[in-house]
Amino acid sequence: MRWLILTLKGCALRFLARHEEAIAHCRQACQIPDSGYMPHVNLAAALAEAGKKSEAQAAVENPYGSNRHFLSASSKAITSA
């Protein structure tokens, strides 16, 4: 569950506009096996909010290679935004 704590901390930092710190926490969460897609979605959001649009796009497009669960969830999140 460490990935969840890191992801939530990253979310909180995003809302405080502390984007670089949020990015660091989300990157750590993404490194944990079986963390799912949520850390990757939050990493992409933090990168986009920090003005790093190309990095954000890359984080969404290929976090796991061809993990269909992630791709489906991230596509829904992007299209609904």
DSSP states of 39-59 as a string? HHHHHHHHHHHTT-HHHHHHH
Tokens of 26: 């989300």
Domain range for 36: 2-80
Number of domains in the chain: 1
pLDDT tens-digit profile of 65-79? 444 555 555 444 454
pLDDT tens-digit profile of 29-61? 998 888 888 898 999 999 999 999 989 888 887
Q: How far apart are CA 81 and CA 59, in angstroms?
A: 16
Share of the chain above pLDDT 70, in %: 75
Q: Are 24 and 59 in contact (CB under 8 A)?
A: no
CA proximity to 23, closest of 14, 34, 32, 36: 14
